């Protein structure tokens, strides 16, 4: 998959702006220059959302009522497509694929993308939901039906919560028994993907972080039915579920030599390695998403910058990066746009 060019109007700070991309592309500029807004507009065009905010109206230029984005690209099947997107300040959105209106769900069947930002360091030490989300996205790469499993599980949680609030213990017991196979399936898939991620990680670590020990693992339980019964009284008292995959622990353990303390640069690099493992899982399925890296190589010394750049340049994926730091100038294949 590849983005050829994009035209944006009234997006963030830009009145009008257009830019063409190469296979490996770097947007360089100081803080506030608008470099992140460019890749955000690309992301918005092909996903219908933003990686910076959940309030889409925030991306509309402050003195405008609506925005417009047009993107020419190659989809996952190699076909050239045109995506146009419009959004007004009320949050009304319209997406067109080759001139025909489509939903976000329809759009993601044609395009694949991945983004890394410094905020992804939260996967390592942030709230537990960040690690569960990371793992669930990795499972979904291999098995699209996993999304339906998760939706079925969250429907179970919704019905269970309603029954708990009503004090209907019999309904809760029934729901718990019915959910056990689904709970086991979700946990099995998470455990399986952990093994595959760890395999991908081991090869990447050798290239860009020699000496790092990194391991991803997920919670498992041989007797979920027993645990659900044990939690029942407390759940009835509290009025909400206290056990299940939505609360499971995902561990990301890391160490270099004898030290378990990491610098910001090392944590940044670990978060990139985790994202790269997802790209490699896609590659095994013959899919190469556009990889956006915002504020690339921040916190890294020159040696680590070079190691990571070597890895990025060897990806089959199109990579569109932004940076505000000095970069190695050893690659003439890396096209640079500077503000």
Residue 267 lies in a domain: no
- 28 and 87 together in one domain: yes
pLDDT at 60 over 90: yes
Q: Could you list the residue range(s) of the whole structural domain that residue 244 is in?
A: 122-256
Are residues 131 and 100 located together in one domain of the fold? no
> Within this chain, do residues 176 and 141 fall inside the same structural domain, yes or no?
yes
Residues 38 and 142 in one domain: no
**Tens of pLDDT, residues 128-145:** 999 999 999 999 988 888
- DSSP one-letter string for 120-156: GGHHHHS-HHHHHHHHHHHHHHH-TTHHHHHHHHHHH
The predicted pLDDT at position 332 comes to 75
149 and 108 belong to one structural domain: no
- Report the distance separating Cα 8 and Cα 92, nearest Å: 17
What proportion of the chain, given as a percentage, has pLDDT over 90? Answer: 71
Residue 29 lies in a domain: yes
Mean of pLDDT values over 214-221:
94
pLDDT at 258: 67
Is residue 260 very low, low, confident or very high in pLDDT (cuts 50, 70, 90)? low
Look at residues 240, 256, 272 and tell me which one is the last residue of a structural domain: 256
| Higher local confidence (pLDDT), 174 or 105 | 174
pLDDT at 291 over 90: yes
Residue 249 lies in a domain: yes
In sign, the C-alpha dihedral spanning 116, 201, 301, 291 is negative
Does residue 211 belong to any structural domain of this protein? yes
CATH number for position 219: 1.20.1050.90
Domain boundary among 228, 256, 284: 256
Least confident window among 16-20, 99-103, 236-240: 99-103
- Interval 314-325: pLDDT, tens: 999 999 999 998
Is there a domain that residue 275 lies in? Answer: no
Least confident of 20-24, 102-106, 238-242, 299-303: 102-106
Question: Are residues 88 and 37 part of one domain?
Answer: yes
Domain membership flag for residue 322: yes
How many domains, the chain?
2
Q: How confident is the model at residue 256 (pLDDT cuts 50, 70, 90)?
A: confident
Does 298 share its domain with 241? no
Q: Which of 230, 256, 282 is the last residue of a domain?
A: 256
Mean per-residue pLDDT for 267-295?
93
């Amino acid at each position: 998959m590849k983005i050829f060019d994009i035209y944006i109007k009234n997006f963030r700070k830009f009145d009008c702006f257009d830019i063409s991309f190469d296979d490996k592309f770097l947007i360089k500029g100081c803080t506030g220059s608008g470099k992140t807004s460019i890749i955000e507009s690309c992301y918005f065009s092909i996903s219908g959302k933003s990686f910076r905010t959940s309030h889409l109206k925030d991306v509309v230029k402050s003195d405008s009522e609506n925005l417009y984005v047009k993107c020419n690209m190659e989809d996952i099947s190699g076909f050239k497509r045109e995506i146009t997107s419009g959004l007004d300040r009320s949050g009304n959105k319209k997406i067109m694929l080759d001139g025909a209106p489509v939903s976000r769900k329809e759009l993601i069947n044609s395009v694949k993308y991945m983004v890394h930002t410094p905020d992804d360091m939260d996967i390592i030490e942030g709230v537990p939901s960040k690690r569960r989300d990371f793992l669930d996205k990795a499972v979904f790469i291999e098995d699209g039906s996993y999304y339906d499993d998760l939706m079925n599980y969250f429907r179970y949680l919704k019905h269970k919560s309603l029954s708990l609030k009503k004090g209907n213990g019999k309904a809760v017991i029934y729901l718990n028994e019915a959910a056990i196979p689904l709970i086991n399936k979700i946990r099995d898939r998470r455990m399986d993907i952990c093994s595959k991620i760890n395999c991908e990680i081991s090869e990447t670590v050798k290239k860009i972080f020699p000496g790092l020990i990194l391991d991803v693992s997920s919670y498992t339980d041989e007797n979920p039915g027993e645990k659900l019964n044990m939690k029942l009284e407390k759940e009835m008292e509290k009025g909400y579920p206290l056990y299940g995959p939505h609360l499971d622990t995902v561990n990301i353990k890391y160490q270099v030599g004898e030290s378990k303390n990491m610098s910001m640069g090392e944590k940044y690099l670990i978060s990139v390695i985790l994202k790269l493992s997802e790209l490699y899982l896609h590659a095994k399925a013959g899919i190469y998403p556009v990889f956006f890296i915002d504020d690339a190589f921040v916190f890294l010394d020159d040696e680590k910058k070079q190691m990571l750049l070597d890895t990025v340049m060897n990806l089959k994926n199109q990579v569109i990066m932004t940076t505000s730091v000095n970069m190695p100038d050893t690659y003439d294949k890396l096209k640079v746009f500077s503000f």
